A and B are shown apart, each in its own frame.
Chain A
């Protein structure tokens, strides 16, 4: 079982729609959860962090965490073509470096 799992996509949504990206993790001791955005040929960029159950909103982005279900999601409202990228879910269990999922490729169609 992979430590952090994401659907590789591509997830295709029309411009202006809500994009929903999902991630599950296996380590119940995980404490912190992150979403990174990676444009093609570029390095990952941290866009959201969440530490407790519930929702966290930052502009058009909302991160959701459910520790009981070991599930993290990222919602992008009013999706724009510039949001087209690969989104990496990362999890920190407090003992070592971040563990990353393989990423979900998002395509926002104009």
Chain B
């Protein structure tokens, strides 16, 4: 266990559904991240939050909506997704945005049908 917990572990949703991914960290870290991992592609950084404030949005489509109510929790709200959004979504945290190594949650395997 890395101290970063993601739920659910697996999610199947239709293109018209709305769902949310949840991430919680128990490490006292101040920075949290969402990454997308598709087959045979590098990890893609989606969003960065530092002290609850969004500091980076990597040109992510608006059908992905992050929320960070506090430094320990991070959500990714999903709506009207496309089949190509099917991927492993990984949450990570680090002490601060500046420093530097990240601990990952177990990931949510998302399938859009």
Contact = CB atoms under 8 A, between A and B. Distances in A.
A98 to B, nearest CB: 6
Given A102-B40, A103-B42, A94 B98 contact: yes
Interface of A: 2, 4, 8, 31-32, 34, 41-46, 49, 88, 92, 94, 96-103
A101 B37 CA distance: 11
A82 to B, nearest CB: 19
B56 A96 contact: yes
Interface stretch (B13-21, B59-67, B103-111): B103-111
B100 A44 contact: no
B56 A97 contact: yes
Nearest to A91: B100
Interface string B50-89: 0000001000000000000000000000000000000000
Contacts, number: 54
B102 A97 contact: yes
* Size bracket, chain B contacts: 20 to 34
Interface of A is mostly: loop
A97 B90 contact: no
27 contacts: A2-B42, A32-B100, A34-B100, A34-B101, A41-B109, A43-B90, A43-B104, A43-B105, A43-B107, A45-B2, A45-B104, A46-B101, A49-B101, A92-B101, A96-B45, A96-B48, A97-B31, A97-B45, A97-B48, A97-B56, A98-B45, A98-B102, A99-B45, A100-B43, A101-B42, A102-B40, A102-B42
Interface of B: 2, 31, 33, 40-43, 45, 48, 56, 90, 97-98, 100-107, 109
Nearest to A4: B42
Given A32-B100, A92-B100, A96-B56, A44 B105 contact: no
B35 to A, nearest CB: 8
A96 B97 CA distance: 7
